[in-house]
Amino acid sequence: MLDRYWFGDVHRISPEAPVPVVHVSSTEDRLGGAANVARNIAALNAQSGLLCVVGTDEAGEQIVSLLRDSRVQAHLERDPSLPTTIKLRVLSRHQQLLRVDFESAPAHEVLLAGLARFEALLPSHDVILMSDYAKGGLTHVTKMIGAARAAGKPVLIDPKGDDWERYRGATLITPNRSELQQVIGQWKSEDDLHARVARLRADLELEALLLTRSEEGMTLFTDAGATHESARAREVYDVSGAGDTVIATLAAMIGAGASLTDAVSVANRAAGIVVGKLGTATVEFSELFPDALNDKQDVAQENQP
Ligand SMILES: Nc1ncnc2c1ncn2[C@@H]1O[C@H](COP(=O)(O)OP(=O)(O)OP(=O)(O)O)[C@@H](O)[C@H]1O
Ligand SMILES: [Mg+2]
């Protein structure tokens, strides 16, 4: 998915319809959707490969070129009949005037090729992360989860929509409040929430569920019970993309061998940093672990004769 921004000034109302006319003075393209998650993983100095479908149009080429500049290993299925997914925002004086979406479902054959590619890539990856934006790329998600779990790989899912049957057997699912509410209904109390999540996890054979709760932080539900992390943000500028940073950090930490509870604690710290940045931003390794470099130097000094 391409996040495209058009910036400009408005000086007049159109003679054609009562709408503002924006004189575009600058544009910006950024990797969006699953590509933003992959970019977040790479920012943490973890290796990430991205499997997805793009068209053969100008936006598809732009995604290819942005990925080439990133540290993400691209595995793109190209669908000549697909308009590459674009979310175009038109902004004037920091105000969004309009969003225009271009999207449609990829072709059946391309999705099957993607499934075969997934199975081929599986052995060379430690953690599988599915970032569901409901654009069709995850049509075969249930088969992909089955293949990954059979290969002993943890599967993390950022869900979309109310049909979670398709995520059956995943290791961890990371809904926000409204996504979870769509599936289990509105909970009446914290105890009620815990009971509903326990039922859902049992029904869908999910090892864990991490509910991200915006300014209320996040809660991890596993067989061992629930653990809560309070939100850590000192200043909040832009909350968009915080969910991407959370699941990207979880995947990187689990890939590095961290326990799920440790991974959640670090992911919560990462979210606290990213909401303090403007735009769909990433968190760098050095921001998340500022002492890591010093620790290394300390160890080096201690080891000196
Ligand atoms: N307003 C906020 N104040 C403090 N922390 C926040 C705020 N919003 C988000 N966070 C942090 O980011 C995490 C993820 O945010 P949220 O639950 O809103 O995810 P999301 O809705 O999936 O985000 P998005 O889909 O926009 O990327 C939260 O668990 C919290 O740690
Ligand atoms: Mg989200």
Q: Residue 292: its pLDDT value, please?
A: 81
Please give the distance, rounded to the nearest whole angstrom, from the Cα atom of residue 1 to the centre of ligand 2. Answer: 15
Catalytic residue among 163, 223, 244, 298: 244
Annotation says 244 is catalytic: yes
Q: Is the pTM of this model over 0.85?
A: yes
Report CA-CA distances (Å) from 217 to 24, 56, 187, 262, 293.
38, 40, 17, 15, 28
> Is the C-beta atom of 56 inside 6 A of ligand 1?
no
Nearest CA among 271, 278, 284 for reference residue 232: 271
pLDDT in tens for each of the 305 residues of the chain?
999 999 999 999 999 999 999 999 999 999 999 999 999 999 999 999 999 999 999 999 999 999 999 999 999 999 999 999 999 999 999 899 999 999 999 999 999 999 999 999 999 999 999 999 999 999 999 999 999 999 999 999 999 999 999 999 999 999 999 999 999 999 999 999 999 999 999 999 999 999 999 999 999 999 999 999 999 877 898 888 899 999 999 999 999 999 999 999 999 999 999 999 887 689 999 999 998 866 666 655 665 55
Left if phi > 0, otherwise alpha if psi is -120 to 50, otherwise beta: which for 259? beta
CB 49 within 8 A of CB 37: no
Question: What domains can be seen in the chain, in order of their start residue?
Answer: 33-83+105-295 (3.40.1190.20)
Reported as a single tens digit per residue, the pLDDT across 91-140 is: 999 899 999 999 999 999 999 999 999 999 999 999 999 999 999 999 99
Rounded Cα–Cα distance for residues 8 and 25 (Å):
5
Burial group, residue 17, by CB count within 10 angstroms (0-12, 13-18, 19+): exposed
CB of 132 within 6 A of ligand 1: the answer is: no
Residue 122 structure tokens: 């599986």
Q: How far is the CA of 263 from the centre of ligand 1 (A)?
A: 16
**Residues 173/167, Cβ–Cβ less than 8 Å:** yes
**Sheet with 225-229, edge to edge strand ranges:** 128-131, 155-158, 172-173, 208-212, 218-222, 225-229
Q: Give the angle 131-114-242 at the CA atoms, nearest 5°.
A: 10
- The closest alpha carbon to 263, from 35, 36, 32, 41, belongs to 41
